[in-house]
Chain A
Amino acid sequence: MALLARRASILALLVLLALALPSPASAKVANEYDLKAAFLFHFAQFVEWPAEAMPNKSTPLTIGILGGDPFGKTLDAMVANEAVRGHKLVVRRFREVGEADSCQILFISPSEDARLGVILSHLKGRSILTVGEGKGFALRSGIVGFVLSDRRLRLAVNLAAANASRLTISSKLLRQSEIVGPAGLPE
């Protein structure tokens, strides 16, 4: 019993240590993929596509997910009943990159890492904002890579790849991003 009491007291101490600190106030927090979903939603507003990517107003702006879906219902909830510059936002899920040609934004799931090279080469030059995980994604000619740094989400943007896809990324988005140049080195 004494042993139990001692163990309990150590735990209590740990908890007190946690509680003694001021209550969280400063930084707000979010789940990793909820936050990434919000970024995908915002990309629709801060990226401009060439006119032929969405020829008329009835063409939706499609956010695609290629491979295993980490977002669950979050992304669908976020884009429901939303439109950007008159284009309705829709979410679609794909298993094959060949099905994803009509997307405007394509999140390439980490489940597809093994074949990322082929996927990116298939999408090369198409006006699709490719989004993936890690700086390595942008270095490998993806356009936007999510990077976790100091517990915050940052973007690694390959501008050369964006230009080749005729996408214009707003300076508001670029301001907080690391530009990964064609030489693969930060500019």
Chain B
Amino acid sequence: MSPIRTAAASVLVALLLLAPLPAASQTDPAPPTKALKELSLEELFDLEVTSVSKKPEAISKIAAAVHVVTADDIHRMGVLSIPEALRYIPGVEVARINSRDYAITARGFNGTAANKLLVLMDGRSVYTPLYSGVFWDVQDAFLEDVEQIEVVRGPGATVWGANAVNGVVNIISKSAANTQGLLVTGGGGNRERGFGGVRYGGALGSQAFFRVYAKDFDRGPSLFPNGQEAGDAARMHQGGFRADWTPSTADGITVQGDLYGSSTDHRNADPTVLSGGNALAHWTRQFSEHANLQVQAYYDRTKRDIPSTFGETLDSYDLTANHRFTPFARHDVMWGLGYRLTSDDVRNSASLAFLPRRLDQRLYTGFVQDEVTLAANRLYLTFGSKVEHNSYTGWEYQPGARVAWTPTPGQTIWGAVSRAVRAPSRIDRDLFAPGQPPYFLVGDSTFESEVLIAYELGYKGQLAKDLSTSISTFYNVYHKLRSLELGLPAHLANQAHGRTYGAEAELACQVARRWRLSAGYTYLRLLMDVDATSTDTSQEKQEGDSPRNQVFARSALDLPHGLSLDAGVRFVDKLPDQQISATTVCDAQLGWQATKTIEASVVGQGLFDSRHPEFGTPAGRREIGRSIYGKASWRF
């Protein structure tokens, strides 16, 4: 039986096996609307809330392929890191490389240095100008304080700017007013050897709130394909704070920051040492209901020291201002300006060099967007453009237009056309390998921006009271993609191009009051090619770095006695370029709310196999072992 059929069959088996459950729990039908209003106050206060509903969305979110991971989702999955929380999202590829590193992208082009996804934490970009990607090993948060993770597939370039080519991940933390009190959490298991965290939130007068937190983890190594430990155990300490102050009804001020230190072991070398911190201030002034001004400034430092290979200290200074107002009836206009200075200082080695060693880059951005109400509650048009000036290529423009049509309440059909660019990163321009001549690989000092024209069409609908769906399709055309030109030395160039198309479907169903099922399907094709003058032979391989099919099903079930059972099965199609066969992975959590303040859970990840590979060619890859851990938390 082929792997795909095996996987499809296991998903089917899972669904069939689980199907008899609602009948079993029909002894306790939830009160219908009529009955609900007949209940007394005491009875209402005694009711358990089963499904935490999705919060209503703004129009701009409706006309895009958006998936929101809620605080409840994070809690129910029992995940310990941000990348693990990004699994079970249609259109997103999450592949774990080793104990700490992940290859994450949306809509294709995955890689260990994937470069088409923008990631923001409370408005702070965590993308590195080194390769236009994200060092996932240092992106962490106290997950209990995360309000939601919003994932937008498709170009978000009009508002978010450079690098929001294939998608934007927006990690949003809770307001300090909503994280009051003491929370202590901790646990451990076979792979996650130990983890713990403390958060305390308090008030500073009547209009100001704060919280402080500290967390720590000690993670065991990944495995070699033969099952031996790969020696990449890791640990991390992180602490931070957030304060929210509303000095007047029109003003809101947020100040927050984090500090971290971390190390990852290597088998035959000194550990990689990582450290960094950030501080951010955000001010909102509300002039009227539809007019506001937001000003945000942050500083971020991140240091990375890979002994005898590479070192980097990156300082980022960022200032943005956004203004929203209604110049005429039916027009909701937003515009903004931004400035970012990144100061990158690398330590080169015998094997690798970035020249110049030290580089300051300035990024100036501006954007304007108008959301036009063509027919109230029915038809909206949003259009605008971002214009930016970067130190490498100068001016870049990224316009886009979206239409959302709501023929009947609860159903929306939307479409969009957008242009996005990926501006060059240091790896494209400044790379030399080895560290001294003669080089065998060099970057291209005239490397230009990669360009995407994206066409999207989608449908979102509430099919029945307890059944919702969303379907997104896209056709992306890329120009001037990075190619690897053979020669002595080999060099990078903009001589590749390609098309991708695909579809993502999601279905969520409240089967019974205590039981929620969701499922997702992702189809993706990449068709890569090179210019006639190119000598690149790697592009077709890239087609095989992303799975063609991905399927997932999740079940969230509440049981009596404060117990809950969550299970997810995900199928990821083969990665031909890496000789990784299709895999089906199962994750589950059994949770127990012991008392109002104490809660415990057991989490299993990768339950089907003792270990499985997710990314990398056979020669160098690591596999991910089955992980089981227990977790307890106490609120006061």
Which A residues form the contact surface with B (CB < 8 A)? 1, 3-4, 6-8, 10-12, 14-15, 17-19, 21-35, 37-39, 41-42, 46, 67-70, 72, 74, 77-78, 95-98, 109-111, 114-115, 117-122, 124, 133-136, 139-141, 148-154, 172-173, 176, 182-185
Given A1-B1, A29-B49, A68-B56, A134:B558 Cβ within 8 A: no
Q: What total count of A-B pairs have CB within 8 Å?
A: 229
Nearest A residue to B56 via CB reads A68
Which B residues form the contact surface with A (CB < 8 A)? 1, 6, 9-10, 13-14, 17-18, 21, 24-25, 27-28, 30-31, 33-34, 36-37, 39, 41-53, 55-58, 175, 177-178, 180, 203, 205-207, 209, 246, 248-252, 284, 286-290, 292, 376, 410, 462, 465, 510, 513-514, 557-561, 563, 565, 567, 569, 584, 586, 588, 590, 593, 596, 607-608
Give 12 new A-B contacts, CB below 8 A, not counting A18-B21, A34-B36, A70-B56: A7-B10, A7-B608, A11-B17, A14-B565, A21-B560, A27-B48, A31-B49, A32-B50, A33-B53, A37-B33, A77-B34, A152-B49
Contact of A12 among B1, B17, B410, B565 (CB under 8 A): B17
| In the complex, chain B residues whose CB is within 8 Å of the CB of A67 | 56
* A96 → chain B closest CB, angstroms: 6
| In the complex, chain A residues whose CB is within 8 Å of the CB of B250 | 117-118, 121
| In the complex, chain B residues whose CB is within 8 Å of the CB of A27 | 46-48, 560
Is B584 within 8 A of A7, CB to CB? yes
Nearest A residue to B465 via CB reads A72
Given A24-B25, A77-B33, A118-B288, A110:B45 Cβ within 8 A: no
Is A8 within 8 A of B13, CB to CB? yes
Is B13 within 8 A of A7, CB to CB? yes
Is B45 within 8 A of A135, CB to CB? no
| In the complex, chain A residues whose CB is within 8 Å of the CB of B31 | 28, 30
Is B44 within 8 A of A35, CB to CB? yes
Given A25-B27, A26-B560, A117-B246, A35:B178 Cβ within 8 A: no
**What are 21 pairs between A and B in contact, CB < 8 Å?**
A4-B13, A12-B17, A15-B17, A24-B25, A24-B27, A25-B27, A25-B28, A26-B561, A31-B30, A35-B47, A39-B44, A42-B41, A97-B289, A110-B55, A121-B249, A124-B249, A135-B177, A136-B177, A151-B49, A151-B558, A176-B45
* A148 → chain B closest CB, angstroms: 6
Is B6 within 8 A of A3, CB to CB? yes
Q: How far is the CA of A135 from the CA of B42 in the complex (A)?
A: 20
Is A135 within 8 A of B607, CB to CB? no
Q: How far is the CA of A23 from the CA of B560 in the complex (A)?
A: 7
| In the complex, chain A residues whose CB is within 8 Å of the CB of B206 | 182-184
Contact of A139 among B177, B410, B465 (CB under 8 A): B177
| In the complex, chain B residues whose CB is within 8 Å of the CB of A14 | 565, 567, 588
Nearest B residue to A33 via CB reads B53
* A66 → chain B closest CB, angstroms: 10
Nearest B residue to A17 via CB reads B565
* B156 → chain A closest CB, angstroms: 18
Is B586 within 8 A of A30, CB to CB? no
Is B28 within 8 A of A184, CB to CB? no
* B196 → chain A closest CB, angstroms: 22
Q: How far is the CA of A96 from the CA of B410 in the complex (A)?
A: 21
Nearest A residue to B3 via CB reads A3
